[in-house]
Amino acid sequence: MSRNQGIIIAIIAVVVLFFAPEILATLGFAIGSVIEFAISLIISLAVVGLVFFLVMTIFGSVLLGLGAALIALIFTGIGLFWPLLLCVLILYFVFRNPRKTV
């Protein structure tokens, strides 16, 4: 092992020693966010499938079932992403150019 490799390993060890809680917290936050989003997505798709199945069995129409599933998909999407939609709407109203009247 050369001298440069030893210095690099020592620097990495010091950085990991001082910043290990922050590194692990960031890693845990990222993994937790992915798991939370995946579970929410699976549940929302299960709700959409259940709506499609119920409408198909009760009314017997594929087109009506697809329409109900589409409406359920839109509502679950709004329910899943409403904070993001709210932030985008607020940013739109803050930064839009007002119409000039003549």
pLDDT digits (tens, 9 = 90+) for 3-28: 788 889 999 888 888 888 898 899 99
Question: Considering the entire predicted model, what is its pTM?
Answer: 0.62
Q: For residue 76, which of 50, 101, 47, 36 has the smallest C-alpha distance?
A: 47
**100 part of a folded domain:** no
Provide the token pair at 102.
């003549």
**68 part of a folded domain:** yes
100: pLDDT strictly greater than 80: no
pLDDT confidence of 1, banded at 50, 70, 90? low
pLDDT at 78: 86
Number of domains in the chain: 1
**101 part of a folded domain:** no
| Residues 76 and 49: beta-carbon distance below 8 Å | no
Distance CA 54, CA 90 (A): 37
Range of the domain at 42: 3-95
**Quick one: 52 exposed, middle or buried, by C-beta within 10 A (0-12, 13-18, 19+)?**
buried
pLDDT at 88: 92
